[in-house]
Amino acid sequence: MSPQPWFKPPWPEKTGRRALLTGITGQDGSYLAEFLMSKGYEVWGIVRRSSSINTWRIDHLYEPPWVEDKRLSLVYGDLNDASSLNRVLKVVRPNEIYNLGAQSHVKVSFEIPEYTAEVAGVGVVRLLEAMRELGLDARFYQASSSELFGKVEESPQTEATPFYPRSPYAAAKAYAFYITRNYREAYDMFAVNGILFNHESPRRGETFVTRKITMAAARIKAGQQDCLFLGNLDAKRDWGFAGDFVEAMWLMMQADKPEDFVIATGETHSVREFCELAFARINLPLTWRGEGLDEEGVDSDGRTLVRVDPRYFRPTEVDFLLGDSSKARKKLGWKPETTFSGLVEMMIDEDNEAL
Ligand code: NAP
Ligand code: GDD
């Protein structure tokens, strides 16, 4: 299924600005590409070669090569391959670069820590160096993460909260955060970190917990699956809607001076609560019984629909995240539009309809 556009064409006039996105085939890349095109940008996206086509999130934006005045173009490249990044920057010469590409799965980063460090960490300095060597006068956005706060030292977390990474992914993102800040200070580049808390959507990757829940709930309702196996039900996250969050990325890049910003909703909810809302929305309200590994979510007929499987636990967990985005609200005029229950409903409704 092609994703529904989040904004409404027809396209406005071009602004004359050109944006380059890494990670354009991912959740955020697809929403940001739509957003920038709706603002009249010419958008270029770096894609990795894959044996199977993985552009489903941006298929609805695709324009064939012979279209005059193309607004979206894709080029091959990889954050692990400096020569491809140099070549793309030389050809495209963007005004704004949004670095969204990463091995972004925290649990997977424990299995492939070195690769994660290469893409999510060293990949950033490859891009920044390519900009510097070319003398490219472009603004740079780095997709930093609330995972940096990890084992949180204070709540809510702000731009001033110390980092305590709890995974190879977060450690790689810490390097990325500091190298972005260093290039800003050392070379006077417009390079910013958006420290984004979790943001979800119907386009969320299927192995992240929110989408795993909404897809499984829809399948259980349709009789295509019996039970959903999850890890830590107590984990709490500050979950927002990706469509709201990409606007904050753009606003940071339009500011008078480069600064880092926390982007969050200011509410936190547990994985258990997310399950409750998702199942209730499709008329399968859950009650919980048992504790620890024996805890289960049961429907009104006594069927067990949710169980705990320790295989989904992480060697070191981030138990609790709650962001304070006052700085972004004040300086950028940004605020999220979608509520937590609105987000869960949007996701479960789309997964339910897609079956
Ligand atoms: P996502 O859906 O996992 O997308 C990741 C993107 O990175 C995909 O387009 C992927 O390409 C691309 N990619 C992976 N390895 C690459 C490589 N070696 N070279 C070039 N591109 C590569 O992630 P997302 O949720 O959109 O997140 C976007 C960014 O924000 C990531 O950097 C993530 O770490 C960060 N972030 C996300 C959140 C969140 O809650 N979503 C919060 C804070 C920060 P393929 O399609 O080919 O795999
Ligand atoms: N994925 C997953 N699968 N997570 C589970 C499961 C499960 O079956 N059961 C419980 N969880 C818990 C995880 O242990 C974690 O505490 C929480 O649900 C959220 O997990 P994910 O949805 O995988 O997201 P994340 O918070 O680890 O990472 C996401 O958000 C970060 C921002 O804070 C990713 O998008 C990262 O790229 C991003 O930086």
What pLDDT does residue 6 have?
53
In the reported structure, the alpha carbon of residue 226 is separated from the centroid of ligand 1 by a whole-number distance in angstroms of 31
- Pick the more confident residue, 5 or 189: 189
**CB of 205 shorter than 6 A to ligand 1:** yes
What pLDDT does residue 31 have?
98
CA-CA distances (angstroms) from residue 51 to 5, 54, 55, 73, 173?
A: 26, 9, 12, 20, 28
- Ligand 1, atom nearest to 24 Cα: 9
To the nearest 10 degrees (0 to 180), the angle between helices 340-354 and 271-281 is 50
Angstrom distance (rounded) from CA 273 to CA 72: 39
**CB of 232 shorter than 6 A to ligand 2:** yes
**CB of 145 shorter than 6 A to ligand 1:** yes
**CB of 201 shorter than 6 A to ligand 2:** no
CA-CA distances (angstroms) from residue 98 to 45, 46, 195?
A: 10, 11, 13
- Ligand 1, atom nearest to 169 Cα: 34
Quote the tokens at residue 61.
């934006």
- Strand blocks (E) in 48-160: 72-76, 96-99, 139-145
Largest CA distance in the chain: 66
Among 108, 237, 344, residue to substitute to test ligand 2 (most atoms within 8 Å of Cβ): 237
Angstrom distance (rounded) from CA 193 to CA 181: 8
Q: What digits encode the pLDDT tens for the residues 286-327?
A: 999 999 999 999 999 999 999 999 999 999 999 999 999 999
**CB of 100 shorter than 6 A to ligand 2:** no
**CB of 295 shorter than 6 A to ligand 2:** no
Under 8 Å between Cβ of 59 and 5: no
Among 84, 104, 118, residue to substitute to test ligand 1 (most atoms within 8 Å of Cβ): 104
Mean local confidence (pLDDT), 194-200: 99
In the reported structure, the alpha carbon of residue 99 is separated from the centroid of ligand 1 by a whole-number distance in angstroms of 9
Residue 350 exposure: Cα atoms within 13 Å on the Cβ side: 17
Q: Exposed, middle or buried, 114 (CB in 10 Å: 0-12/13-18/19+)?
A: exposed
Q: What digits encode the pLDDT tens for the residues 200-220?
A: 999 999 999 999 999 999 999
Specify the length of the chain in residues.
355
**CB of 48 shorter than 6 A to ligand 1:** yes
What pLDDT does residue 250 have?
98
Under 8 Å between Cβ of 205 and 273: no
Angstrom distance (rounded) from CA 216 to CA 295: 18
Residue ID of nearest Cα to ligand 1 atom 5: 26
**CB of 244 shorter than 6 A to ligand 1:** no
- Pick the more confident residue, 101 or 6: 101
The ligand whose atoms approach the alpha carbon of 314 most closely is 2
Under 8 Å between Cβ of 161 and 153: yes
What pLDDT does residue 1 have?
47
In the reported structure, the alpha carbon of residue 117 is separated from the centroid of ligand 2 by a whole-number distance in angstroms of 18
E strand or H helix at 262, and its extent?
Answer: strand 261-263
Q: What digits encode the pLDDT tens for the residues 85-96?
A: 999 999 999 999
Residue 4 predicted with pLDDT over 60: no
- Ligand 1, atom nearest to 120 Cα: 32
